Amino acid sequence: MELIHLRGRSSDIVVDTAQGAPVIVHWGAPLGAETDPSAFGTAGERPLVHGSPDVVAPISVVPEHGSGFPGRPGLRGHRRRGVAWAPRFVPAGHELDGHRLTVTARDDVAALVLTVVFELDDALVVQAEITNTSPTERYLLDSLSITLPVPQQAAEIGTFTGRWTREFHPVRVPWPHGAFTYENRRGRASHEHPPLIFAGTPAFAEWQGSVWGAHLAWSGNHTGFAERLPDGRRYLQMGELLHPGELSLEPGQSYRTPEVIAVHSDAGLTAATQQFHRHLRARPSHPAGPRPVLVNTWEAVYFDHDLDRLRELADRAARVGIERFVLDDGWFAGRRDDTRGLGDWWVSPDAHPNGLGPLIEHVTGLGMEFGIWVEPEMVSPDSELYRAHPEWALTTDGYEPVLARHQLVLDLARPAAFTHVFEQLDALLRDHAISFVKWDMNRDHIGGSGADGAAGSHAQTVAVYRLLDLLRDRHPQVEIESCSSGGARVDHEILRRTSRVWTSDCNDALERQTIQLGASMLIPPELMGAHIGPERSHTTGRRHDLAFRAATALFGHLGVEWNLLSLTDAELDALHEIVTLHQRFRPLLHAGDSVRFDTEDAYVAHGVYATDRSEALVSFAVVTTSAGLIPPPLRMPGLEPDRQYRVERLPLPGERLGPNRSIPTWMSGGVTMTGRQLGDFGLQLPALHPESALILRCVAL
Ligand code: DGJ
């Protein structure tokens, strides 16, 4: 054993570099100054038992079938009809540079070199690379995944389910015998399987239990796997999902996995997921400064672009304090509905006969930024681009392509197609005062092959990253939003290039309570687009009052997606009040620590604590009728135990309470409690109607 100990801000890892592919022997709590990591070798030694091989193969970061590992190998591939299919690596050196450890291993028989990089800071980042060192033969790569062992006390798996307009719904399952797995082949992170898995001790919750979480930072096809081996050991495994023959490594070529970003806490899910947030906030491209409140035209006008109406909408947006106006789909070429026009990124002479200039000047003249929608990875069969270059669509010769939303994927891995789109977008951003781009992606990759006939999803994903990078280089002042039919592309790799995600096409506040709660397990509030929609939700048909819609959207990156022309003066005033409230609390909301609270099923409780615990804003929402007549006291752990906090209700315009004959007296004047009291005893709330919320503010005295 040759053990390297990396210390992070919240957890430590110990890596054995002497095994070939590196082995994580500890991933968990900080070990403290007194711990001798070499004790792990002795303490963790596993006995040989009957019915097993004469070796105990470790769960390395890339476990090897050829070494006796009985689970799913980390590297799968071969040469020539099956040769070199079960590699076994030997150590080839390692390098420690501060918080970064690079371990190299080689297999001279299979002619492969494996490099694994670990970086531990707020979160653990692991990435692997495989190089084909054969001078003559190609290596056909089926998969290279990252494997993280988790201790046997991890008995439950936390994952997600979702669909369009219902993303990020948390699901909890007992760790099965055998394996839990998901596979995503949609060519985007997907609505249903965000690349994120948690494992934890029985009934791990927001503030209790040990939790290990892993996220694959990748926007394309991917798979997640959690296996319990017959000998009791467990591991998480994540990686890109490759179609048959999608990737082959020519002599000297390499493939690098997406990063796996992993978090751990012995104090529950909230503390673990804050590490994802801190990791994202530490990236150089994280948006600095206040996130502008925006209005988006989609649900206000859809494809009905009329300059006068859009100008009026902008007037009203400015009146309520909105800071950014985003012109959604429908502004370009023949795009009068969703059956045509994608690929033709010039201003429509029908919708905007004098170009976008008059609208942009009007918007910026009102003191707002101007933003615009694009969907650059797509082409409509009914478009000038497709008529000129049908061969640029990501389809497979000989088969009728499967359309989705009447459109095809544009093969950006073809240099000519890439350059064409880049030049159009570059011109759009160069010729207009555009500060924000909503970058949409609205269909799955289905059976699409690149120019060489092999599956084109990997190359497309890489090309999208390159296109974003080039545009950002050229237009560094432009912020980009990642949208994919709502939240089908939410991952840390796209977020290196974008400043927020469109969390869901669902603006129904009730649905959003759960969607945003789930999304907060991966991304912080300032990156989470959250809009106040119309009273009657366009996607669910439900009605909610403004107070509930506001209480829900307030905690993200606030926007308004509502036809402001239909509002009364009183409604505009109320909206203005809400926007002002958000702006007042934005520094706290967008820089504090996100917290979620354990409560009964009828409620969703969450909030944000200032990092110095001087202040907190907390939301308590009722999402369905409850078994009890009144909610249980809201317990808010994690504030400073011995500090006194003044807790007050933060009223929202039009807010109504439930069927109370009396309300707790603190509701009118506030109450002073210690952080310990708030965490242990909690605060009794009044009865609330289902589909309403109460906001509390805590200020340290
Ligand atoms: C899907 C997005 O999620 C919506 O917000 C909207 O931009 C439409 N596309 C426009 O086509």
Nearest to 261 by CA among 562, 581, 601, 27: 27
Q: What pLDDT, in 10s, does the model give residues 482-493?
A: 999 999 999 999
Q: Which of 505, 531, 561, 562 to mutate to test the pocket of ligand 1 (most atoms within 8 A of CB)?
A: 505
Q: Point out the ligand 1 atom lying closest to the alpha carbon of residue 328.
A: 7
What confidence category does residue 347 fall into, taking pLDDT thresholds of 50, 70 and 90?
A: very high
Nearest to 382 by CA among 396, 363, 403, 361: 403
Instruction: Using CB atoms within 10 Å of the CB of residue 551, give its burial: 0 to 12 exposed, 13 to 18 middle, 19+ buried.
Output: buried
Angstrom distance (rounded) from CA 347 to CA 338: 16
3-class secondary structure per residue, 149-200: EECCCCCEEEEEEEECCEEEEEEEEECCCEEEEEEECCCCCCCCCCCEEEEE
Same fold for the pair 294-591 and 595-700: no
Q: How far is the CA of 441 from the centre of ligand 1 (A)?
A: 9
Over range 442-464, report the average pLDDT. Answer: 97
Strand partners, 117: 102, 127
Domain positions in the chain: 3-281, 294-591, 595-700
**549 pLDDT higher than 90:** yes
List all residues 6 or more positions away from 680 whose beta carbon is below 8 Å from its beta carbon: 635, 637
Angstrom distance (rounded) from CA 349 to CA 70: 63
Q: How far is the CA of 503 from the centre of ligand 1 (A)?
A: 11
- Nearest CA residue ID for atom 2, ligand 1: 485
Do residues 527 and 558 lie in contact, with contact meaning Cβ atoms separated by under 8 Å?
no
Nearest to 486 by CA among 553, 446, 540, 438: 438
Query: What would the two tokens of residue 522 be?
Result: 């991966």
Q: How far is the CA of 486 from the centre of ligand 1 (A)?
A: 7
Structure confidence at residue 656 (pLDDT) = 86
Query: What would the two tokens of residue 299 be?
Result: 């649900």
List all residues 6 or more positions away from 182 whose beta carbon is below 8 Å from its beta carbon: 159, 193, 223, 224
**371 pLDDT higher than 90:** yes
Question: Does CATH place domain 595-700 in 2.60.40.1180?
Answer: yes
Task: Check residue 443 and report its DSSP letter.
Answer: S
Q: What pLDDT, in 10s, does the model give residues 562-595?
A: 999 999 999 999 999 999 999 999 999 999 999 9
What confidence category does residue 519 fall into, taking pLDDT thresholds of 50, 70 and 90?
A: very high
Q: Which residues line ligand 1 (CB under 6 A)?
A: 298, 328-329, 373, 440, 442, 483, 485-486, 502, 505
CATH assignment of 3-281? 2.70.98.60
CA-angle at 535, arms to 533 and 537, nearest 5° = 65
Q: Point out the ligand 1 atom lying closest to the alpha carbon of residue 561.
A: 5
Structure confidence at residue 618 (pLDDT) = 98
What confidence category does residue 38 fall into, taking pLDDT thresholds of 50, 70 and 90?
A: confident
Q: How far is the CA of 570 from the centre of ligand 1 (A)?
A: 29
Do residues 236 and 225 lie in contact, with contact meaning Cβ atoms separated by under 8 Å?
yes
Angstrom distance (rounded) from CA 197 to CA 237: 9
Q: How far is the CA of 275 from the centre of ligand 1 (A)?
A: 30
- Nearest CA residue ID for atom 11, ligand 1: 329
Q: Which of 483, 484, 489, 506 to mutate to test the pocket of ligand 1 (most atoms within 8 A of CB)?
A: 483
Which one of 12, 440, 491, 593 is the catalytic residue? 440
**Any catalytic annotation for residue 573?**
no
Which one of 122, 505, 508, 545 is the catalytic residue? 505
**Any catalytic annotation for residue 108?**
no
Q: What pLDDT, in 10s, does the model give residues 289-307?
A: 899 999 999 999 999 999 9
Do residues 519 and 490 lie in contact, with contact meaning Cβ atoms separated by under 8 Å?
yes
pTM more than 0.95: yes
List all residues 6 or more positions away from 366 whose beta carbon is below 8 Å from its beta carbon: 314, 315, 317, 318
Topology (CATH) of 294-591: TIM Barrel (3.20.20)
Structure confidence at residue 591 (pLDDT) = 97
Phi/psi region, residue 471 (left: phi>0; alpha: psi -120 to 50; beta: rest), is alpha
Angstrom distance (rounded) from CA 532 to CA 553: 6
Q: What pLDDT, in 10s, does the model give residues 387-413?
A: 999 999 999 999 999 999 999 999 999
Query: What would the two tokens of residue 30 be?
Result: 């900080």
Angstrom distance (rounded) from CA 256 to CA 169: 30
Structure confidence at residue 596 (pLDDT) = 98
Nearest to 345 by CA among 429, 412, 448: 429
Q: What pLDDT, in 10s, does the model give residues 253-293?
A: 999 999 999 999 999 999 999 999 999 999 999 998 899 99
- Percent above pLDDT 90 for the chain: 97
Dihedral over alpha carbons 519, 524, 529, 531 (to 10 degrees): 90
Q: How far is the CA of 302 from the centre of ligand 1 (A)?
A: 9
Query: What would the two tokens of residue 285 be?
Result: 């491209």
Q: Point out the ligand 1 atom lying closest to the alpha carbon of residue 484.
A: 3
Q: Coil, strand, or helix at residue 107?
A: strand
Over range 351-377, report the average pLDDT. Answer: 98
Angstrom distance (rounded) from CA 395 to CA 50: 53
Give the β-pairing of 369-374 and 324-327: parallel
What confidence category does residue 37 fall into, taking pLDDT thresholds of 50, 70 and 90?
A: confident
What DSSP letter does each residue of 29-60 carry, written as one string?
A: S---TT--TTHHHHHTPPPP-TTS-SS----B
Q: How far is the CA of 329 from the centre of ligand 1 (A)?
A: 7
What's the mean pLDDT when you consider all of the chain? 97
Q: Which of 167, 191, 295, 298 to mutate to test the pocket of ligand 1 (most atoms within 8 A of CB)?
A: 298
Q: Which of 339, 380, 502, 561 to mutate to test the pocket of ligand 1 (most atoms within 8 A of CB)?
A: 502
Tell me the backbone φ, ψ of residue 14, rounded to 5 degrees: -125, 130
Q: Point out the ligand 1 atom lying closest to the alpha carbon of residue 486.
A: 3
- Nearest CA residue ID for atom 10, ligand 1: 329
**189 pLDDT higher than 90:** yes
Query: What would the two tokens of residue 410 be?
Result: 């544009």
Phi/psi region, residue 209 (left: phi>0; alpha: psi -120 to 50; beta: rest), is left
Structure confidence at residue 437 (pLDDT) = 98
Which amino acid appears at position 54 of this protein? Answer: D
CA-angle at 363, arms to 429 and 440, nearest 5° = 45
Burial pattern 162-198, b for ≥16 Cβ within 10 A else e, equals bebbbbbbeeeeebeeebbebebbbbbbbbbbbbbbb
Q: How far is the CA of 189 from the centre of ligand 1 (A)?
A: 17
- Nearest CA residue ID for atom 9, ligand 1: 485
Structure confidence at residue 1 (pLDDT) = 87
List all residues 6 or more positions away from 390 whose beta carbon is below 8 Å from its beta carbon: none
Task: Check residue 454 and report its DSSP letter.
Answer: S
